[in-house]
């Protein structure tokens, strides 16, 4: 119903006056929406890139090296995606206060809070490493490649499908984040979910055709990322 009424020609959620795309055109000329979309994209890209780097290094450390506490460390990596998001958000807010990070509340703190979800990428990369044929790495070393060359030219390309799959999932979580972002953002900093929530909370009737169009586009992006993730996992 939300998608249907986003094409409503009149400003009503109860009466359908005909098909129109004027609410989608309105989004293009709204600077607040443009800023919110830009913030959501840049936060998600930055958080996903950092999370992928941390996840790959963590997966390698747990899979390739033997050290005391390795099982406990691997289990600890799962905590951010197991505990309730509200509890995690409150914890990070307290951490910001203790460390003085609230002074930088905004894009930086939101990215930091989202990077904590790196286990979404870690799980996929770790699974990829568990079935990794290490004979190809041995062959590369026999042919004269050092550790760095083997990692960059052999290991990383073979791990890339898993990294991409996990990164797509991570990007989706960051893009859709409402609770954690609301706890860690600074004054005046809005992402797309925060903008939609603020607009709905400020109206008695809740949704408007413009917000219907905005939410529809957000859902379409999330669905697209989910499809790409499913195909990436299937190809592995």
Model pLDDT, residue 201: 67
Give the sign of the dihedral formed by CA 200, CA 214, CA 226, CA 153.
negative
In a domain, residue 102? The reply is: yes
Q: Does any domain span residue 163?
A: yes
Is position 225 within any domain?
A: no
**Residue 8 — left, alpha, or beta (φ > 0 → left; ψ -120 to 50 → alpha)?**
beta
Q: Considering its fold, how many domains does the chain have in total?
A: 1
What's the whole-model pTM score?
0.81
**Residue 23 falls within a domain, yes or no?**
no
Flag whether 220 is in a domain. Answer: no
Domain contains 1: no
Residue 95 and residue 184 in contact, taking contact as beta carbons nearer than 8 Å? no
Q: How many CA atoms lie within 13 A of 96 on its CB side?
A: 23
Distance (Å, rounded) from C-alpha 8 to C-alpha 24?
11
Domain assignment of residue 61, yes or no: yes
Q: Can you give the pLDDT at residue 235?
A: 61
**Is 129 domain-assigned?**
yes
Q: What is the CATH number of the domain that holds 165?
A: 1.10.3720.10
pLDDT of 81 reads: 86
Structural domain of 126: 34-203
pLDDT recorded at residue 155: 84
Per-residue pLDDT of the chain (236 residues; tens, 9 = 90+): 888 888 887 777 677 777 888 888 888 788 888 899 899 999 999 999 999 999 999 998 888 888 888 888 888 888 888 888 899 999 998 998 898 888 777 899 999 999 999 999 999 888 888 877 778 888 888 888 888 888 888 888 888 888 988 898 899 899 889 999 999 988 889 998 898 888 776 554 456 677 888 888 888 888 887 888 777 666 65
């Amino acid at each position: 119903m939300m998608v249907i009424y986003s094409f409503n020609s009149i400003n009503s959620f109860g009466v359908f006056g005909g098909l129109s795309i004027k609410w989608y055109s309105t989004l293009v000329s709204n600077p607040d929406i443009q800023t919110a979309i830009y913030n959501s994209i840049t936060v998600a890209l930055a958080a996903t890139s950092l999370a992928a780097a941390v996840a790959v290094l963590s997966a390698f450390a747990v899979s390739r090296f033997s050290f005391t506490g390795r099982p406990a460390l691997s289990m600890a990596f799962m905590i951010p995606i197991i505990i309730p998001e509200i509890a995690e958000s409150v914890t990070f807010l307290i951490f910001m206060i203790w460390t003085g990070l609230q002074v930088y509340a905004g894009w930086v703190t939101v990215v930091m809070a989202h990077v904590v979800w790196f286990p979404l990428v870690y799980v996929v990369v770790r699974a990829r490493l568990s079935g990794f044929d290490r004979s190809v790495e041995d062959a590369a070393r026999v042919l004269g490649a050092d550790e760095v060359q083997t990692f960059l030219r052999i290991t990383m390309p073979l791990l890339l499908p898993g990294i991409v799959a996990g990164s797509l999932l991570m990007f989706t979580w960051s893009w859709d984040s409402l609770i954690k972002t609301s706890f860690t953002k600074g004054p005046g900093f809005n992402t797309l979910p925060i903008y939609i929530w603020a607009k709905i909370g400020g109206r008695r009737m809740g949704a408007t055709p413009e917000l219907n169009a905005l939410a529809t586009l957000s859902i379409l992006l999330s669905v697209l990322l989910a499809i790409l993730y499913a195909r990436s996992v299937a190809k592995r």
